[in-house]
Structure 1
């Protein structure tokens, strides 16, 4: 039987989502907790990968088990057993072909910036004190929706079949000293959001002009794009599935 688990995590102390040797990951911690509580041995498959230090306000994964359990009770047990930086919201029975990664129809990320030093935002938002032209950054963000091939924003030597992504929204908002970038797409490449934010920051500080973004995208060259912003300001905030009602 296949189940979906919905959860969140603060990525500060993890080397990303995916299990790997010699480094602690969210996948490893969550898998061990489920295996122990259900007295079973299985792997869990996440909706995607997040890099070291990146957070998730909403993440899904699936797992298969023949062990019977009470959904509500398992959630309570998991939240008691797991560390404080991982929280489980629900565990739901799904059809046997449901897939947390391949069935996701859209994903949304947010990047948080604070422009005034804030001791409470450490590890949760990036401190950027230089002036930013949000209007220009939003003009540039709209250009992203004109394209599908985003190889210029992808981490080099990435093993993917295509660099095409369908971006449906990309925009900046500001409230006082807090600035947030929101972007949604059907899929994202490795390091893509952080590279996009870095490039838009260069536009906001006047290092490059808005129209230069088209040349960067069309170059398909990572070295032409901007720097990769720090991971700790990035959040996976929403994962959509056609068969899950929000």
Structure 2
């Protein structure tokens, strides 16, 4: 008898054409296409669970999901030892190649990693990092991958406000309305604007994020950068716990999930 083996899958995607990660009714998502490709390759129904959900148009340079494989059907599966109790394993290299052949150009599979049966891509993640990219000069190669602004905001003021944010844990003011979560508490460990050759990038790391949180934070910090608000105003906004007091959400095109950390090793497998 073969038993299920759990795997983490590492991928990256350009979110422009998708209604986010999570399966949606009447809309194409990354999860939907990945599930279909995995089910085709492994010849059994596969449902991948993601490390989080990205909104429509948001990109991911690093994203993890987990899925379980039973021992039947596919030529990619090794069926274990004769005693019948070793978990079925898959040929990782062939699965990665097969998935990349099936999936569209804007979704890339990087690795498939066997993990413990209780490992969970979402609940086990200890930190997630995002970047938000802004540029100031018209650039056809940044269109759809960065938000273009005309005027350069005051980075010093925005960084003062970003530092204040790290004193707080309840970020209800930056959460999308009517979101069903148990808590709006998040521990931010990095919030910083950095100059680049082409513009500026906001770096933020936390143990978890609320829906639309990063884009709402960037929109609020832009108000401070345009000197519409003083940096200390961020305190009143956060303490109000009211989304209507924060800034508008900035466009999705500039937002990237860049890193997800776990308390165990997810080292790439060698051929």
Question: Does residue 1:206 correspond to 2:210, yes or no?
Answer: no
Aligned to 2:29: 25
Q: What RMSD over aligned residues (CA atoms) do the two structures have, in Å?
A: 0.9
Question: Does residue 1:35 correspond to 2:56, yes or no?
Answer: no
- 1:142-175 Cα offsets, whole Å, 9 max, x none, are 0111000000000011101101000000000012
How many residues end up aligned between the 2 structures?
A: 246
**Which has the larger displacement, 66-75 or 124-133?**
66-75
**Which has the larger displacement, 131-140 or 97-106?**
131-140
Classify the secondary structure of the residue corresponding to 2:112: strand
Which residues of structure 2 form unaligned runs of 5+?
A: 72-76, 78-89
Aligned to 1:171: 192
TM-score between the two structures when normalised by the length of structure 2: 0.89
Question: Does residue 1:137 correspond to 2:158, yes or no?
Answer: yes
Aligned to 1:226: 247
Question: Does residue 1:6 correspond to 2:10, yes or no?
Answer: yes
> Distance between the aligned counterparts of 2:33 and 2:182, measured in 1?
30
> Distance between the aligned counterparts of 2:17 and 2:265, measured in 1?
30
Match of 2:67 among 63, 66, 69: 63
Which residues of structure 1 form unaligned runs of 5+?
A: none
Shift of 1:80: 1.4
Change (3 A) 1:245 1:81: closer
Aligned to 2:210: 189
- 1:43-87 Cα offsets, whole Å, 9 max, x none, are 110000000000000000000111422101111111111100000
Change (3 A) 1:238 1:35: same
Aligned to 1:51: 55
Question: Does residue 1:108 correspond to 2:112, yes or no?
Answer: no
Question: Does residue 1:99 correspond to 2:103, yes or no?
Answer: no
Classify the secondary structure of the residue corresponding to 1:119: coil
TM-score between the two structures when normalised by the length of structure 1: 0.98
Shift of 1:245: 4.9
Match of 2:262 among 237, 241, 246: 241
Runs of 4 or more, structure 1, over 3 Å off, are none
